[in-house]
A and B are shown apart, each in its own frame.
Chain A
């Protein structure tokens, strides 16, 4: 193991990591002393040392390019490498968002076409590409729904309904919009319990938020009934499109009854996840909500592209027009695959997940033994009887050189193991993962203790999260030595 160090440990006065030009104009008088800072303490390192430091860190990191990364509902698919070249074209990289529109037609055209493609793919009438992540798109959607009901003169719809398998961003977004939350339970098949929905769906409800397929990886076959019930009682159907990878090319959210849905370009459309962003979460709306979309949209008039504000827009939700550098890559992805290719993506994603489901169900408890879509959720139930939980299983998988699935989510399954292989994994990789999971299941039977202290083969071993939370150490300060064993 290499010695741990931080930037201050390699910093020395006088070093610098890049070269800068000298001043080429006569200097002006400096501002008054009281406006200036007395000292600036940043590290000073040479470029080579900087590069070695970050390369060493990169080698401790596991990404999709390292290996299998089956995080549920994250869609960790392979990122085409040539896409990385695209945002570097000067006509994309070196354009200022406020330069005159006539000088930015290329960029505006790409945004316009993305709006069109996403509308086509989701079966919606208009799209805003501004939201910079799924949660941002969700915020926009809920604000739009609030505006829609207010315009109708209905100020009493103060509730958003969620299912018990919803992602944490769904209720958090509701709070950001001052909506109350109502819960709809799932039935034993993992579908929306229609009796439960019937009870809670009333005129205090603004919308039902549904992830489809659900975070259990299941497609609710009653979607049309759900949509009819919600709409009949004056509510809207809002979608979390995180799981679009299973439906793309097969079904359109608009047809399924959704009024508004956000999609994740960094999931379904293969833009890189970046270690936690940048992402992009466009919001797609049916006609009745189009006027409320965040501003601006790109419109096409006489072959020119213009930024326009929807009539009753919820307003501006970001500094500019969203993550353009991410849009470019998603655009290339859609144009590389076309409708047929995207459909193949969904097919392969669904085949891969069902294959894993069939091969592992003898070894791990499968709470919903039915056809899954692009992801499958197991439970740690059998292993829990031996004192081993989903987290332990995940940690042991790291010793096999594989990234674990999402664990302990969704909460509606006890000790969930949520696996999404995606279509970019070969059968050989899946077989390797399956074998590792089977080997671990065997270890649980014969030697469960080995899992409690796993992992053993990683750059660092299990970390003390309690200590990190009890004694928060969130930064270094220049002057402190940090070199440890």
Chain B
């Protein structure tokens, strides 16, 4: 269900590895769906150092605000300015055109702490079951 080539956090971010220890991150479909229409992205400026699992930004929808956590430690090299201008991209294509931040990893081994797409899908399913009790 979720892209196999990505890895996932418990806070519903995905990470897509790219050459030279870089990669992009964004919100998963589950997160985008929970938030509803996304209206504003508060992303860290390029050059910012981030730590794995610490807050690096905020995503606002019409009815909610959620923190954006770094999936791994490193430096922000680029942010998706197209999405900043048109936050609806995050709703429309969360895994592709709706990417948020490109990182240069400082500790690539940290990726081992993230979930595979199968594990993430199971995790999301367990959450959905919990909430329907």
Contacts and interface: CB of A to CB of B under 8 A. Distances in A.
A469 B131 contact: no
Contacts of A381: 132
22 contacts: A381-B132, A384-B132, A408-B63, A414-B131, A465-B37, A465-B62, A466-B36, A466-B37, A466-B39, A466-B62, A466-B88, A469-B37, A469-B39, A469-B40, A469-B60, A469-B62, A470-B37, A470-B39, A470-B40, A470-B86, A470-B87, A470-B88
Contacts of B88: 466, 470
Interface string A396-430: 00000000000010000010000000000000000
A408 B63 CA distance: 11
Interface in A434-485: 465-466, 469-470
Interface in A362-410: 381, 384, 408
A384 B128 CA distance: 13
Contacts of B36: 466
Interface of A: 381, 384, 408, 414, 465-466, 469-470
A466 B60 CA distance: 11
A363 to B, nearest CB: 19
Chain B interface size, as a band, is: 10 to 19
Contacts of A414: 131
Contacts of A408: 63
A469 B37 CA distance: 9
Closest 4 CB pairs of A and B: A466-B37, A469-B39, A465-B62, A470-B39
A147 B46 CA distance: 43
Interface of B is mostly: loop
Contacts, number: 22
Given A466-B39, A469-B40, A470-B39, 19 more contacts: A381-B132, A384-B132, A408-B63, A414-B131, A465-B37, A465-B62, A466-B36, A466-B37, A466-B62, A466-B88, A469-B37, A469-B39, A469-B60, A469-B62, A470-B37, A470-B40, A470-B86, A470-B87, A470-B88
Nearest to B36: A466
Contacts of A384: 132
Contacts of B132: 381, 384
Nearest to A384: B132
Interface in B74-133: 86-88, 131-132
Residue among A381, A384, A414, A469 with max Cβ neighbours from chain B (10 Å): A469
B16 to A, nearest CB: 26
Nearest to B60: A469
B125 to A, nearest CB: 17
B131 to A, nearest CB: 7
Nearest to B85: A470
Contacts of B86: 470
A311 B86 CA distance: 56
A469 B36 CA distance: 12
A414 B37 CA distance: 20
Contacts of B131: 414
Contacts of A465: 37, 62
A430 to B, nearest CB: 30
A186 to B, nearest CB: 16
A292 to B, nearest CB: 34
A470 B89 CA distance: 12
A100 to B, nearest CB: 50
A211 B68 CA distance: 32
A398 B98 CA distance: 36
B36 to A, nearest CB: 8
A400 to B, nearest CB: 24
A416 B132 CA distance: 14
Nearest to A414: B131
Nearest to A465: B62
A466 to B, nearest CB: 3
Contacts of B40: 469-470
B132 to A, nearest CB: 8
A138 to B, nearest CB: 22
A454 B86 CA distance: 27
Contacts of A466: 36-37, 39, 62, 88
A466 B63 CA distance: 9
B19 to A, nearest CB: 34
A362 B39 CA distance: 38
A430 B60 CA distance: 38
